[in-house]
Structure 1
Amino acid sequence: MKLMTRIMLCLILFLTVTVSARAGDKVIPQERPPFTLTKADRNAIRSEIQAVIDEGYYPGISVLLIHRGKVIMREAHGVVNIETKDPFTVDQLCWLASTGKLFTATLMASLMDDGLLTFDDPIAKTFPEFAEIRLPDGSKPKQPVRIRHVLSHTSGIPNDNWLKVNKQLEKTSPELKDYIFPQTHQDFVNGCLKLGLVAEPGTKMMYGRPIDLSACVAEKVTGKTFVELMQERVFKPLNLKNTTIQPTLAELKRLAPLYQSNKAGVFELDNFGLEVAERQDKRFSTAGGGVYSTLDDIGTLMQMHLSRGVYNGKPFIDRRILQQLYLPQPGTNDRYALAFQFKENNKYGPSVILSHPGYSGPVAWIDFNRDLVGVLLMQSNTVNRTKHHDRIMDTIMRIVPVEK
């Protein structure tokens, strides 16, 4: 499907009110009962989850499904710790890695809703020195690096993989200190400027670290830290009591261990999530993967998006601003929006999935066609992650019908 067709489909899906109707400041819910999962339906989903666990790449998996605003499935299977054999529970705290970008997208939309920025703002509007960033030949780019570019990974600033392949620079290279381990938002801005551009902004997707420029802008325009902004604008107003960027010692004790598994049945501890927590406790916080949360809290965030910016019956963020998050961006081959992945799945009826997976195993998604929120938590980094996500999600989409 061509880009304009996709965009129109997204607009139609978003602007068609299927869950609620506005009346002044209030939202009047329509009485539409949620889909009822039969015993056979539940068993089919459970069987697929168990089959994925049995393949030997995940100790445990939890699932949350919300249909028409009501929880229709909330379960956990397997274990969280392969040493103690403690069960994986539905209230397990997990590091979300890149799934945390969904929280960043929400924060940036909130700032736009208050008139503090727009997605088309050049980074140079907030950091004037960014007007001097140049392409490899020393020329000025045809357009400035904008907020929408950093949120869609099309800024033209190289990512870690490009630097390793083309410059033989590792994360530990001294030249990358400000880029990899910034102490402040200004450090990260300086690190990006040192790297310069390797592509015209808005033309090529290079997934990675430059999304943290959105946190730099957020901090500068508000005078607050990224952690404070997340707490004040996302976590607290949505009542996300089990979501944090700086986990306490008590929270770290109940954090699910993260494993790496590249061979069935073989698990190695992966401390990346703990390292991120330690860095964020002392230094600049990442916009790309620094959130720790639970099944229910992620579900609440995603339901707000599915409800067109409505939370607890009241407008939370202008739906027209949220809609901009969901549109696939130039340079991404129609597969990435603003901190949301964009994917069509027409196997069981026309469907547009807006989601984000994470290095640590999770995925959260919204399906406007089905009026469905889904969350899977699985704390293991494996190359098979996308395949396993798709298998479980396909089973769910086969069972939960497209809205008529």
Structure 2
Amino acid sequence: MNTSVSHPSPPAASDIPAISADDVTTTSATSRAITHTLSDWVHKGTVAGIVWLVADADSVLDCEGIGCANIASGRPMKPDTFFWIASITKPMTTMAFMMLVEEGKIGLDDPVWKYLPEFARLKLKTASGVIKPPTHPITIREILSHTSGLPYATPAETPALDRYPLAQAVRSYAHEQLLFEPGSDFLYSNEGINIAGRLIELLSGRSYEDFMQQRLFSPLGMNDTTFWPDASQLARLASIYGIGPDKTALEEQTIAQLSHPLNDRARRYPVPAGGLFSSATDIAKFGRMLLRGGELDGHRYLRSETVTLMASRQIPAHVDNGYGLGTKLFSDSNVFGHNGATGANLSIDAKNGIVTVHLMHRNGWETADSDQVRLAFQASATGYRG
């Protein structure tokens, strides 16, 4: 399906004016350096615009927008520009789930079938094509760490991830075949985190979205975070871009992974693995709470040792990657968080005591691209550390 939305004369890289540090009014030399560094991706025509934020345990230190939220209209990126944050939803879902672990309602090493009996019948398909039972049932720890062997998503969830109620989507996963022995390898799987979202419903007696709102978003003051953007949020939503057929210019596109319209509560369903929309300052509240070991503004969400567990490696030693429970472990020492599909990133730097967020809307953005932006951003943010 062609999801492109044409607009007159999408600019080539040479058409986007260079942004100098001297052109930006910011509050410190460090923030000027960050804006100058990140503007390079905009000037090259790689992305239309970026919003960046730096916070410490106590407050947001700086937040700036660079480039355009919409190229055709010239609408600028601003600190309150709205984004689909995609897989940054995963650590938020996991955080909520771990509240139930702390309450003793479920154990990390419990088998999934204990709560969802249909998963007792899961089979494994070996590399040689043999279908057999796995050596052990998939566990809660494995679905949160992408080590269960479940696929990324079902064919019915391609391209749009949000077309089915959570209970229905999760039931369909029980009919799939595992791709490796549980616990033996790593495969990034939306299905595992969606199962965790369904378990939140079964254990709490509330819908997944209500639990997230009541136990996490409302107490944190994350009033700009939702699965269904309202009219005012849609007006602030950054347009999404991809490289056009000529491979030289950005063209405006749609978010193919989601159904439209985005505010349709009747036909769009929450996706625990990647359905949230938010803003940089809202994400920073969540990041600051993690940086503070599960507490913010006098409200404790998780014990500090639970946050440490989430940010501890949970995948086999032979896997050239880093992942905890619902959190990505970056190669940097003591830095954890998550990327999002269209260039979003949340990073918690526990060693240096800062949180960084950068947001963009770029289809086809790879993890390596996001890491380049993140590392350049954090290198420029050294003035905030210490």
Identify the TM-score tier after normalising by the shorter chain. Answer: 0.7 to 0.9
Q: CA deviation at 1:295?
A: 0.7
Which one of 367, 379, 383 corresponds to residue 397 of structure 1?
379
1:275 aligned counterpart, secondary structure: coil
Deviations 1:21-74 (A, max 9, x none): xxxxxxxxxxxxxxxx99443332111111111111211111110134232221
Query: Given the alignment of the two structures, is residue 148 of structure 1 paired with residue 141 of structure 2, yes or no?
Result: yes
The answer to whether the Cα contact below 8 Å between 1:97 and 1:273 also exists between their aligned partners in 2 is: no
The answer to whether the Cα contact below 8 Å between 2:349 and 2:355 also exists between their aligned partners in 1 is: yes
The answer to whether the Cα contact below 8 Å between 1:98 and 1:359 also exists between their aligned partners in 2 is: yes
AA at the equivalent of 1:79 = C
2:200 equivalent in structure 1: 218
1:84 aligned counterpart, secondary structure: coil
Q: Percent identity?
A: 26
2:58 equivalent in structure 1: 69
Structure 1 pair 270–364 and aligned structure 2 pair: CA distance change class (3 A):
same
The answer to whether the Cα contact below 8 Å between 1:280 and 1:286 also exists between their aligned partners in 2 is: no
Give me the whole-angstrom Cα distance separating, in 1, the residues matched to 2:240 and 2:48.
Answer: 10
Which one of 241, 248, 251 corresponds to residue 267 of structure 1?
251
2:356 aligned counterpart, secondary structure: strand
- TM-score w.r.t. length of structure 1: 0.79
Structure 1 pair 150–279 and aligned structure 2 pair: CA distance change class (3 A):
farther
Q: CA deviation at 1:182?
A: 6.2
Give me the whole-angstrom Cα distance separating, in 2, the residues matched to 1:117 and 1:281.
Answer: 31
Which one of 199, 210, 234 corresponds to residue 180 of structure 2?
199
Structure with more of its chain in helix, by fraction: 1
The answer to whether the Cα contact below 8 Å between 2:339 and 2:370 also exists between their aligned partners in 1 is: no
AA at the equivalent of 1:106 = M
Structure 1 pair 401–122 and aligned structure 2 pair: CA distance change class (3 A):
farther
- TM-score w.r.t. length of structure 2: 0.82
Structure 1 pair 236–268 and aligned structure 2 pair: CA distance change class (3 A):
same
AA at the equivalent of 2:330 = K
Which one of 333, 339, 343 corresponds to residue 357 of structure 1?
339
In the alignment, structure 2 segments of 5+ residues that lack a partner are 1-25
Give me the whole-angstrom Cα distance separating, in 1, the residues matched to 2:77 and 2:313.
Answer: 35
The answer to whether the Cα contact below 8 Å between 2:162 and 2:258 also exists between their aligned partners in 1 is: no
Structure 1 pair 338–57 and aligned structure 2 pair: CA distance change class (3 A):
same
Deviations 1:331-363 (A, max 9, x none): 454511111111222xxxxx3210211112210
Deviations 1:60-98 (A, max 9, x none): 111110134232221111110011111111011111011
Give me the whole-angstrom Cα distance separating, in 2, the residues matched to 1:399 and 1:94.
Answer: 23
1:400 aligned counterpart, secondary structure: helix
Deviations 1:142-197 (A, max 9, x none): 2221122112222112225xx8xxxxx68669xxxxx9666333322331121121
1:348 equivalent in structure 2: none
AA at the equivalent of 1:343 = F
Alignment of 1:343-382 (within 5 A): 343-345=330-332, 351-382=333-364
1:101 equivalent in structure 2: 90
Query: Given the alignment of the two structures, is residue 131 of structure 1 paired with residue 110 of structure 2, yes or no?
Result: no
Structure 1 pair 220–68 and aligned structure 2 pair: CA distance change class (3 A):
closer
